[in-house]
A = this chain, B = another copy of it.
Amino acid sequence: MEAERADGAGLPSDYGSLTEPVKRELRAVVGDNHFKDDMQTRVTHSYDGTPMLQALPDGVVYPGSTEEVAGVMRILSRHRIPLVSRGSGTNLCGGTVPVQGGIVMVMHRMNKIVEVDLENLTATVQPGLNTKQFIAHVESLGLFYPPDPSSMAVSTIGGNIAECSGGLRGLKYGTTKDYVLGLTAVLASGEVIRTGGKLMKDVAGYDLTKLLVGSEGTLAVITEATLKLIPPPKFKKTLLAMYKDIYGAARTVSKIIEHRIIPATLEFLDNPTIRVVDDFAKLGLPLDMEAILLIEQDGDPETVERDIAVIERVCRGENAERVEVAASEEEALKLLTARRSAFTALARLRPTTILEDATVPRSKIADMVLAINRIAEKHRVNICTFGHAGDGNLHPTATTDARDPEEVHRVEAAFEEIFEAAIALGGTITGEHGVGMVKAPFLEWKVGPAGIEMMRGIKRAFDPQGLLNPGKMFAKSARRRVVIDRG
């Protein structure tokens, strides 16, 4: 295998073509209506939520069952054609851009809640199911599925699993990984595996379930998932703490945890984010504050009241200018919804929005905010920072213009330094968005050459032909972001 023909995972990348006979085979599996290769469909699936990345697939397939996915995969495996499986494509790491062409597999037809098991508190669902719809259904049964990525109104459970999505409730309740008990998945060969089950404990062999969660479609195509549900909290209370001193806000984060309180949500918004969110959601937030913490605690009423009282004291102790408890559930929901809209609100500022995902130990939040601001200033770029401060998971977000290469270059240089700063603080290059294409050049910074070599070995074991989501997670070498145009 020549070096030029190897991809980042050390796998061959001399793929087969999607010829007419292959298309006929695919149509025979999924039905004529569920394979498309017209230009409009191909263009529609050439990009995802990530700015500045685009590559045309050769065809798009919409399977209706695990068996159809397996049938498609057997065909693609025989003809060495790459596959990118995707849900709504809300990811921000270029995770579903078909950089090697081939087939994009859209899971939207497989969108059923197969079962909610009230005795075992599990739900079995198909990957194309919309996250928010699933959460609402579960709540209507008096149960709770905590992972709540900001994209949940659009995203799918399958996408959440592929990326190991987090969300606002991650601090107390964990991320998608903590709720996936079992998976049905189609391997690159077309074989079907079933991992885990309705089991709270299972140590039969290596944990393929947790390995597949967050594997970004590079190891298998997930076609069904058994998820853990939990009893919902009985009561919630939401508090806004407003600071003129941004580092006081950051310090508050670890102080709260030091007081042995794990809030359900502990969000941070800096001044530029406050401004755009308020302009978008008309909340009447004070625009002269340097930072706001949005804190929610849930549980039994007595516990929540006690915790909120302590949190309030901690905020004031760290020089919060104002601390306000939401007067009603509606007001609290409005605040959380506004926070979820931060990305959308920021996106209105300038043509291109690049939202990053650096994560540090929560004790380093203040240092990280300081580093981000210093780096933004150095490179003369506009970066707003918000995020899940309780998890140490910040989303520094640059508003820029993809048509200005010089400015984009400065933005990329700034983010490179931000990743470096996160690593230096004991953090990681991505807390919940995934590696995809965007972070691939930086993965080695976090996991080291030996770590990346083990990951490549796993990839080769699952996908020896390199067909599943090629070009993701593993970079050939470069450290810089690229705009791809295969069209």
A residues with a Cβ closer than 8 A to B are 117-122, 142-143, 163-164, 166, 170-171, 175, 177-178, 187, 189, 191-195, 197-208, 210-211, 213-215, 219, 230-232, 254, 257-258, 260-262, 299-300, 302-303, 306, 359-363, 388, 390-393, 426-435, 439, 443, 446-448, 450-452, 454-462, 473
Please determine whether A206 and B427 come into contact, CB atoms closer than 8 angstroms: no
**Distance of A120 from chain B, by nearest CB (Å):** 5
**Distance of A230 Cα from B171 Cα, bound (Å):** 12
Known: A302-B302, A392-B199, A460-B461. A204 touches B119 (CB 8 A): no
Please determine whether B201 and A166 come into contact, CB atoms closer than 8 angstroms: yes
**Distance of A200 from chain B, by nearest CB (Å):** 4
**Distance of A306 Cα from B454 Cα, bound (Å):** 49
Total copies of this chain within the assembly: 2
Known: A120-B362, A213-B207, A451-B208. A427 touches B195 (CB 8 A): no
Note all chain B residues with C-beta closer than 8 A to A457. 458, 460-462
Please determine whether A450 and B187 come into contact, CB atoms closer than 8 angstroms: yes
| Pick from B214, B299, B363, B446: contact of A207, CB under 8 Å | B214
Note all chain B residues with C-beta closer than 8 A to A433. 203
Please determine whether B454 and A461 come into contact, CB atoms closer than 8 angstroms: yes
Note all chain B residues with C-beta closer than 8 A to A426. 197-199
Most buried by B among A122, A202, A435: A202
Note all chain B residues with C-beta closer than 8 A to A456. 461
**Distance of A288 Cα from B139 Cα, bound (Å):** 43
**Distance of A269 from chain B, by nearest CB (Å):** 18
Please determine whether B300 and A362 come into contact, CB atoms closer than 8 angstroms: no
**Distance of A84 from chain B, by nearest CB (Å):** 18
Note all chain B residues with C-beta closer than 8 A to A446. 202, 204-205
Note all chain B residues with C-beta closer than 8 A to A211. 206-207, 210-211, 458
**Distance of A435 from chain B, by nearest CB (Å):** 6
Please determine whether B178 and A119 come into contact, CB atoms closer than 8 angstroms: no
**Distance of A294 Cα from B117 Cα, bound (Å):** 25
The 3 closest A-B pairs by CB, nearest first: A457-B461, A231-B260, A119-B363
Note all chain B residues with C-beta closer than 8 A to A303. 299-300, 302-303
- Nearest B-chain residue to A433, judged by Cβ: B203
**Distance of A213 Cα from B433 Cα, bound (Å):** 23
| Pick from B206, B302, B361: contact of A455, CB under 8 Å | B206
Please determine whether B439 and A359 come into contact, CB atoms closer than 8 angstroms: no
- Nearest B-chain residue to A434, judged by Cβ: B203
Please determine whether B451 and A462 come into contact, CB atoms closer than 8 angstroms: no
Please determine whether B208 and A210 come into contact, CB atoms closer than 8 angstroms: no
Please determine whether A193 and B451 come into contact, CB atoms closer than 8 angstroms: yes
**Distance of A260 Cα from B194 Cα, bound (Å):** 28
Please determine whether B257 and A200 come into contact, CB atoms closer than 8 angstroms: no
**Distance of A164 Cα from B203 Cα, bound (Å):** 7
